[in-house]
Amino acid sequence: MTAISIKHVSKRYGDFVAVDDVNLEIADGEFMVLVGPSGSGKSTLLRMIVGLEDISDGDLLFGDQRVNDRAPRDRDLAMVFQDYALYPHLTVYENIAFPLRLHKVAGDEVDKRVRSVADRLELTEFLDRKPANLSGGQRQRVAMGRAVIRDAHAFLFDEPLSNLDAKLRVQVRTQIARLQNQLGTTTVYVTHDQVEAMTLGDRVALLRRGVLQQVGSPRDLYAKPSNLFVAGFMGSPPMNLLPAEIRPDHLSSPFGDIPFDAARLPASLAGKDVVIVGIRPEQLVDASLLDDDQRGRGARLKGRIDVLEWLGNEQLAYLPFKAPDAIHQQLTDLQKELDSESDQTQLIVALPDASKAHEGAEIELWLDPGDLHLFDPATTENVTLGQKATG
């Protein structure tokens, strides 16, 4: 096990900068997730850590040793790929044992370690099978077993669940988390899936176009996003982003007025007319489910439900709205960067099954103004960080 230090690391391909001046400290035994949409530089950064890509600028350290020029085979890292990379002519047993065979480990020790790893990954009954006779989830577990058996300084995962269906992703994700907890090995995990990032990582590093946007615990990135990009990426459904005109005693949104003392606005918004308000879908409440006293202690917004999705334990209500042209373009551009094809601005509300809301009906929503996030449209920064409004 080892700590990994990434100091001002960049990667250029001609004039194109894939990774731009990234600084990141990964503690010994930590599970760090590198997340971001396609083209964000996360896999390139992982490949620089393992040595498959040269570093254009900056330093990479394992512990206190600079390893920029060290060959991949000399870095003592175990990597799990998206496509499994198993040997089709070898059994599960021999695929897992392969790294030990290369290092001339004694046969008794090989057998002991293979069976121990297979037991941890629930592969014992498949040891005599070949990869072609396994499911996708089983093959990925074999690839994990081959990495784990090496007892390497760190494990590196490059989108290992991308080829699995939804149910298998959940199962293998749980096994990865359990295995890392048992071994305590430093782990760097690359994914484009924010659900994987939030459920697996001790900390998450979110990249955008090669630039590190925010690093912190999954809860930090969810509850205190540093900018519009982080707010839109972390969370499923994502944070609602609404334009609001600034008034002396309220913010005027497309769904109604939100009480707010303009004197509380940060200096960066002085003289501006519009702010972008961030609200998580679960922070909006069906007002009909509250008593009169509670309804009177918050903001009350109204809108018409366009689409209602019933998910069993909750319902997702979609309420479209019209944003000013400049803000509309900013929000739809952000949606496209986050891999959404929609060009419609809408409010998403997570409602309990007890709600009687239905498609086509108007709904009154309740909101605690203290839950608001405020974003500067010009800089996209969250200007409420550190204030009461972000908790």
| 250-253 sheet: strands from edge to edge | 256-259, 250-253, 240-246, 274-279, 373-375
Mean pLDDT (the chain) is 90
Mean pLDDT (whole number) for 69-87: 88
Which regions of 168-288 does DSSP assign to beta strands (E)? 186-191, 203-208, 211-216, 240-246, 250-253, 256-259, 274-279, 285-286
pLDDT tens for residues 353-377?
889 999 999 999 999 988 899 999 9
Domains, in order of start, for the chain: 4-223 (3.40.50.300), 228-390 (2.40.50.140)
Distance of CA 326 to the CA centre of its chain: 28
Residue 388 — very low, low, confident or very high, per pLDDT cuts 50/70/90? very low
pLDDT at 391 (0 to 100): 36
Measured N-to-C along each axis, helices 92-102 and 107-120 cross at an angle, to the nearest 10 degrees, of 130
Residue 272 — very low, low, confident or very high, per pLDDT cuts 50/70/90? confident
pLDDT tens for residues 84-134?
788 999 999 999 999 999 889 998 999 999 999 999 888 999 999 999 999
Report yes or no: 160 and 43 within 8 Å, Cβ to Cβ. no
Give the separation between CA 61 and CA 187, rounded to whole angstroms: 15
pLDDT tens for residues 205-218?
999 999 999 999 99
Q: Global pTM?
A: 0.89
pLDDT at 376 (0 to 100): 93
Mean pLDDT (whole number) for 162-179: 85
Q: Phi and psi (nearest 5°) for 362? A: -80, 145
Q: What pairing do the DSSP bridges indicate for beta strands 4-13 and 57-62?
A: antiparallel
Give the separation between CA 117 and CA 256, rounded to whole angstroms: 58
pLDDT at 85 (0 to 100): 82
Report yes or no: 256 and 299 within 8 Å, Cβ to Cβ. yes
Give the separation between CA 282 and CA 305, rounded to whole angstroms: 16
Distance of CA 247 to the CA centre of its chain: 35
Give the separation between CA 112 and CA 292, rounded to whole angstroms: 67
- Residues comprising the chain, all counted: 391
346 Cβ contact partners less than 8 Å away, ≥ 6 residues apart: 306, 318, 319, 320, 321
Q: Is 269 a residue whose pLDDT tops 90?
A: no
pLDDT at 341 (0 to 100): 61
pLDDT at 390 (0 to 100): 36
Query: Which of 23-27, 334-338, 350-354 shows the lowest per-residue confidence on average (mean pLDDT)?
Result: 334-338
pLDDT tens for residues 137-155?
899 889 989 988 988 889 9
Question: 134 or 390: whose pLDDT is higher?
Answer: 134
pLDDT tens for residues 24-56?
999 999 999 999 998 999 999 999 999 999 999
pLDDT tens for residues 229-243?
999 999 988 999 999
Mean pLDDT (whole number) for 18-28: 97
Tell me the three state secondary structure of residue 160.
coil
Q: Is 308 a residue whose pLDDT tops 90?
A: yes
Report the number of secondary-structure helices (H) and strands (E) in the chain: 10, 21
Residues above pLDDT 90, as percent of the chain: 62
Measured N-to-C along each axis, helices 107-120 and 136-148 cross at an angle, to the nearest 10 degrees, of 130
Residue 389 — very low, low, confident or very high, per pLDDT cuts 50/70/90? very low
DSSP state of 357: -
pLDDT at 251 (0 to 100): 92
